[in-house]
Structure formats: C-alpha cells, structure tokens
Amino acid sequence: MNIYLLQAVNGVGIGMLYFLLAVGLSIVFGLLRFVNFAHGAFYLLGAYFCYQMMQWGANFWLTLTVVPLAVGAIGWLTEKLMLRHVYDKAHEFHIVITVGLALAVQELVIVQWGALGTSVPVPDVLQGVVMWGSFIYPKYRLFVIGFTAVLAVLLWWVLEGTRLGSAVRAGSESTEMVSLLGINVFRIFSLVFALGAATAALAGVLAAPIRGAEPFMGIEALGVAFIVVVVGGMGSFGGALLGGLLIGVVQSVMSTLWPEGARLMIYIAMAAVLLLRPHGLMGRKE
C-alpha cells in the first residue's frame, strides 16, 4: 500500500511544479487574451540558467533567487519590445510569433549547451530521505512540495490582496475600464508577463535536480501547462492549482498502475473534466 501513498505524494510534488508552470500562462491569457506558445521556453531557460550558475560555483539557494528574476526580466523585455505589437492581431499572429520565439530559444540553448541533456545536483542539505515509520520520501521532493505551497499562498496574496492584483483582476474583465481609472495598462501587461516568465523559470529551477536539463523539455512542459490550464479553467489562479494537482496525481499514480499509459491518462482526465465542465473546474463562461 505504501507504493500508492508514495506515488500520490509524488503526484502532489509534480502537480505543484505543474501549477508554477501553468499559473503564469493562465494569468497572461486571462488578462491579455494572449496565447503564449513561448511559455515553455522560460521553463527551459530556468533549468539551464540553474545548471550554468551551479557550474560557475553558485549555490542552489542563490540560483533559486537569481534565475527567476533574470528570466522575468527577459520576459519583461520580450513583452515590451516584441509581443506588445501583436496583441490586437488575430490569434494566428500570436501563435506564429511565440512558436518562432520558442524555437529560437531552443536552438540557442543547443548552440550554447549542446543537444544532450545535463544533470543538476541536489543541494547537499536536501540529499537523502525522510523516514516516517515505514514511509520513506526524498528530502528534496518534500522541500519542493513545501516551497511551492508557500509560494502559492504568496501568489494568491499578490493577486487578491494588492493593488497590482486588483488591477490584474479588473483588467481580466475590461482593460478599457482599467485605462479609464488612470492605470497604465501596458505597464500592468508587462509586469504580469514578467511574473508568468519568472514562475515558469522557477519551475524549471526546481525541476532541474529531479529530471536534469535538456533542450526539448520546454516543448513537453508547454503541452502539460496547456492541459493544466484547460482542466483548471482559463484565467483562473485556483484552477491552475487544482488542475496541476489533479494532473500530477493522475500521472504519478498511473505510472505505477499502468506505466505505458501514464501520459495517455492525463489526456483522458482532461477529456473527462471537459465533458463534465466545458469551461474547466474553476473557469467562467465568457
């Protein structure tokens, strides 16, 4: 029975990483109605920047702070210099420019670090396992669960308890109304996009010691992020959290029950949710 408990706890950890990956994508869509196919590239950069900083001798804790800020700054510049000019275009333009950006980042990663994956060591203090009776669990994965849970509460407070969060929530209803209130809408757009890039990069940093870094992980992450957003509901913070946990647990548990079909089951879970709730678990009808 412990194997299923272990896989369920693993699923929570994976689900929290999926939440970090998807929440930025969900918020950006909710505010900008912009479908960002380059979102996985920020996750990719997070993992490789983590690897590079540790190669330079930086410790993991410094990396955990610096990399999301650096990738968030890249996201801010990308939105300001490139993506802002296509917001009012058809969604086909959004797809073309962001897919092109994602492929460019992927190729730059291959040029810089090679086509083969690299491993990232677990911090010394988090190596080993924690034991509760007969239940044994890796310390690092337990840290990931706790850290992302605290971060989820912090993000919720930012969106629900600050002026920025109020502007984001109001902008998701009507950007024209926010403009009439004297708020610089484009500044809000840039900050939200940077926040989404930073959370994706943070997911990449946390995932790197678990799965390493490899050039094609951004594509895989993007697919999972879209599944989580669709399951949870487009534009919903709570939906991204609930969807991430659901998909993570389903994938982890099914990897024990039916290893060959674990990936398939997350699509079946998505289809089941959409049959029951076409707008997602916590989505709203437009």
Which range (23-27, 172-176, 247-251, 254-258) has the least confidence?
Answer: 172-176
Residue 281 lies inside a defined structural domain of this protein: no
Residue 285 lies inside a defined structural domain of this protein: no
Could you tell me which residue, 261 or 193, shows the higher pLDDT?
A: 193
What does the pLDDT look like over 57-69, one tens digit per residue? 999 999 999 999 9
Average pLDDT over residues 205-215: 94
Residue 79 lies inside a defined structural domain of this protein: yes
Residue 282 lies inside a defined structural domain of this protein: no
pLDDT at 180: 65
| pTM for the predicted model, two decimal places | 0.91
| pLDDT value at 222 more than 80 | yes
Residue 286 lies inside a defined structural domain of this protein: no
Average pLDDT over residues 17-33: 84
Q: What is the percent of the chain with per-residue pLDDT over 70, rounded to a whole number?
A: 94
pLDDT at 280: 84
- What are the DSSP calls for the chain, one per residue? -HHHHHHHHHHHHHHHHHHHHHHHHHHHHHHH----TTHHHHHHHHHHHHHHHHHTT--HHHHHHHHHHHHHHHHHHHHHHTGGGGTTS-HHHHHHHHHHHHHHHHHHHHHHH-SS-B--PPPGGG-SEEEETTEEEEHHHHHHHHHHHHHHHHHHHHHHHSHHHHHHHHHHH-HHHHHHTT--HHHHHHHHHHHHHHHHHHHHHHHHHHH-B-TTHHHHHHHHHHHHHHHH-TT-HHHHHHHHHHHHHHHHHHHHH-GGGHHHHHHHHHHHHHHH-TT-SS----
pLDDT at 173: 63
What is the domain count for the chain? 1
pLDDT at 69: 96
What's the pLDDT band for 169 if we cut at 50, 70, 90? low
Could you tell me the residue range of the domain that residue 165 belongs to? 2-276
Residue 12 lies inside a defined structural domain of this protein: yes
pLDDT at 94: 84
What's the pLDDT band for 16 if we cut at 50, 70, 90? very high
pLDDT at 286: 54
pLDDT at 143: 95
pLDDT at 4: 78
The mean pLDDT value of the chain amounts to 87
Residue 284 lies inside a defined structural domain of this protein: no
What does the pLDDT look like over 68-121, one tens digit per residue? 999 999 999 999 888 888 877 777 888 889 999 999 999 999 999 999 889 999
What's the pLDDT band for 253 if we cut at 50, 70, 90? confident
Q: Give the CATH number for residue 65.
A: 1.10.3470
pLDDT at 181: 65
Residue 283 lies inside a defined structural domain of this protein: no
| pLDDT value at 1 more than 60 | no
